[in-house]
Structure formats: structure tokens, C-alpha cells
Amino acid sequence: MSPGHDEVVMTAEVVVTGDAAGTVYAPGEVAWSGDRLVYVGPPRGRTGGRRIAVGDGAILPGLVNTHNHAAMALLRGYADDARLMAWLRDHIWPVEARMTAEDVYVGTLLACLEMIRGGTVAFADMYLHADAVARAADAAGLRAFVARGLVGDGPEAEAALARAVEEARGFAARYPLVEGWLGPHAPYTCSPALLERVADQARLHGLGIHIHLSESVEEIREVRARYGLSPIALAQRTGILGERTLVAHGVHLDAEDIRLLAESRATVAHCPVSNLKLGNGTAPVLDLLAAGVNVALGSDGPASTNTLDLFLEMRVAAWLQKTLRGDPAAFGARQALALATRGGARGLGYAGGVLEPGAPADLVAVRWSRPHTTPHTDPLSTVVYATQASDVRYTVVAGRLLLDDGRVTVVDEDAVLAEARERAGRLTGRP
């Protein structure tokens, strides 16, 4: 049987499937037809269809970023080295109040370019002007789970929630790879009554919930003083925690918090680099995994983390758990890759994160013919500890090549960079 003409065949020295058993083919081949993978295994040596030979490098599942505020790429480096609450109140919120939908569109597009170049195929976002986020993700060809950030209390917040629900429900019809979610910002910015209403609406309409919880010591103190509960317990009481809930950060957790997260089947979007840069500490990922909690990886917004490099996030996630336990064997490369792939896909409720026939054709190919990736004796180790975002040569989402041998195919990259610089200058007053 010869492959169909629409079949794309990609071969490489190594295929890292990302499955639970850690299966690797060396050499390997991945083939897809339309938006689905049709073959993953040793090279079959067939001809026909389009053939892409990566050569010295690896094909792996596309990476999944489960916590982002992509448009904040425009504010990259704008107010670094400040405390979280002061950073938000004195620097970020005043600029955000001036942001237009078009600013958010261009900022998100900039972030999408960085994600495409860094091997990210799907991201969960929470931000203002969510329609512009969805439009940018669609233009870039990325899979996106987009929530409008919700804050406050009373009739105004209620009206914003109603609009957000309508908007979220409408995304999929307009943007095929975009799913609408609800994004109550955090328990220190949303009233418990709003959280309850969000939980009701999410259940009623089958929408996912994306929320910040237990990020900083300051937050824990504030929420405890106001409500006598931890942020996780408050989220549980208000109905926010569930199988379709992404808990961003989850740094400061006690045993009861971990029990509630496990019981609810929520996903923790671990953001190791953001937590380090903002001095917030380290999530107890090993304790969460031991309790059965699904853990995924997130970058947080590029104004916090400064990059959207999930290879860096994987590496740092592994380092931190080793350090927390004082044991380099406590958390390995395979576990780090699982957070960035299968953990993320599960948290977002889509079938990606692994290379196997029938799975979405969401994949990445990196080239390893450079000093920092030579030799690559252990492919999983090379992916997690040595590969950099800039080694990505191909990024494929739903069968479409967004990055083709290092060239972005979806938008005019130079034009986006120029416009992003201009808008960032206007917003921050620092051209």
C-alpha cells in the first residue's frame, strides 16, 4: 500500500513518542494525514506524499503551555524585579487599562510567534479583550484555550461574566482550534459570590475554568484574613474546583489543599520560572503527583517570565523538584516531558501530548547537529536538559506546518515584530 498524496511523512534520527512507557524510535518516522497522525514507528522507507527528513534531530509531541497571558509580550521587561502585588497595582494594571483590542491582538501574535518557534502547539490564556486573543491564535494556527479575565463583585462583574460566557461559547464556531474558557482571575480579585456564579455558568455550559490560586505567601495571608480559608479551600467551597479547572501556580499548598485538588481532579499549571523570578517559591509537584493530581506546565505571561520557552520550563521544573527533595533521582527527564505534553493535554481536555496513530498531528522537530546537543546519547535527557527553543525547526498543529525548516509560514514575522515594538513603546512610554 502506498501512502495517499495528502500524507506527510517526517523522519528523524530519533522519535520521542512521549507515551507513558517512554517509547523512543531511533531512527523513527511520523506520518500524518489531514489533522491526524497515521503512523509512528521505525522508518518504512516508502515514497509518495510529502517527505521531510529532519536528519540529526528528534521529533517529539508538541509542547503544551497551560498558563499564559500571551499579549503581555508587549510588556516584556517593562517592570521587572518588583513584588507581585505592587507589580500588578503600580505597573501592570494601569498600562492594561490603556490597552486596546488591537494591542492585545498584536501582543498575542508576537507571543504566538515565540511559541511556534519554541515548539509550543497549544496554550491556555487568560486576558482582557479575549476575542483578540482568539483571533490572533487563529491567525497563527495554534490551538488555544482562551478565557477573558474576570474580576470584582456585584452587578458589573455579573454582567461581565454573562458577556464572557457568550463570547466563550462562540469561539469554536469562528476559530476552529480555539476553545472558550472562563477566567476568574484569583480569589483576591474576585468575590466568593462571583466565583460561585462562574462555577455555575461553567457547569451549565460545559466550559473550563482557568484561575490563579496559591501563588504567593501574600495571597495566602490576604485570603485567609478575609475568608478564614486557604485559596484552594475557598475555590473548593465556591465550586470552582473540578475536572475542567486549571489551577495556575499552586505553590503554597498544605496537605488539605493537595487532598482537595486530588479529589476534584483539577489540573495544576506549574509555572516554575515565573515562581522563581517573582520569588514565590516552588510548587510541591512530587507531592501533587503522589496524591494523583494532574500537573502541567505553564510559562505565565511574558511580562513575568520574560520568555515563553517551555524547554526552559521543563528543565527548571526538574531542577526544582530535585532541589526540594535533595535528591537528583527524585524527578527525571521523562517526568518533566510528561508535564509539558501529556499533563498539559489532559488538563486542557484534548487528545494531544503523545505521538501515536489517531492522535492529533501536533508535533515538533528539533535539530541536534549543534555543539550543545552533541552527543545525544540519551534522547529524553537531550530533550529536557540540553535542547533550546531555538533548536526547533518544525512545528505542526492539526497537520499544518506553522514552522517549516525554521521559516514561519502563517504570518509576516518581521511586520509583527515591528508593529509590536511600536505598540509596546506607545503603551509603556518607552519607545
Q: Which residues bind to Zn ion, rule: CB under 5 A?
A: 300
- From the CB of 66, what's the least distance to Zn ion, in Å? 11
By beta-carbon proximity to Zn ion, the closer residue of 69 and 367 is 69
CB of residue 149 to Zn ion, shortest distance in Å: 9
- Pick 92 or 396: Cβ nearer Zn ion: 92
Report yes or no: 238 and 192 within 8 Å, Cβ to Cβ: yes
Residue in the structure block whose three cell numbers are 491564535? 137
Q: How far is the CB of 386 from Zn ion (least distance, A)?
A: 28
Nearer to Zn ion, 300 or 309 (CB): 300
Q: Which three cell numbers stand for residue 136?
A: 490572533
The answer to whether residues 234 and 227 touch, using CB atoms and an 8 Å cutoff, is yes
- Cα gap 63→48, rounded to integer Å: 29
Q: Which is nearer to Zn ion, 131 or 300 (CB)?
A: 300
Least separation in angstroms between residue 211's CB and Zn ion is 10
Q: Which residue is nearest to Zn ion (CB)?
A: 300
We find the least distance from the C-beta atom of residue 84 to Zn ion, in angstroms, to be 10
Q: Which is nearer to Zn ion, 126 or 178 (CB)?
A: 126
- Beta strands 363-367 and 294-297 are unpaired
Minimum CB separation of residue 216 from Zn ion in Å reads 11
Between 304 and 395, CB nearer to Zn ion: 304
The set of residues, in sequence order, having a beta carbon less than 8 Å from that of 167 and lying 6+ positions away, is 130, 131, 148, 180
Could you give the C-alpha distances from 425 to 103, 173, 377, 422, 430, in angstroms and in order? 11, 35, 46, 5, 5
Closest distance to Zn ion from the beta carbon of 77 (Å): 17
Residue whose CB is less far from Zn ion, 110 or 186: 186
- Number of other CB atoms surrounding residue 229 within 10 Å: 16
Residue whose C-alpha cell reads 499564559 in the numeric block: 68
Rounded Cα distance between 165 and 209, Å, is 11
**Minimum CB distance to Zn ion smaller for 129 or for 400:** 129
Q: What number of other Cβ atoms are within 10 A of residue 345's Cβ?
A: 26
- Nearest alpha carbon to residue 389 among 305, 303, 314: 314
Min dist. Cβ of residue 212 to Zn ion (A): 5
Please tell me the distance from the alpha carbon of residue 263 to that of residue 243, in angstroms, as a whole number.
9
In eight-state DSSP terms, residue 174 is: H
Q: Which cell goes with 232?
A: 484552594
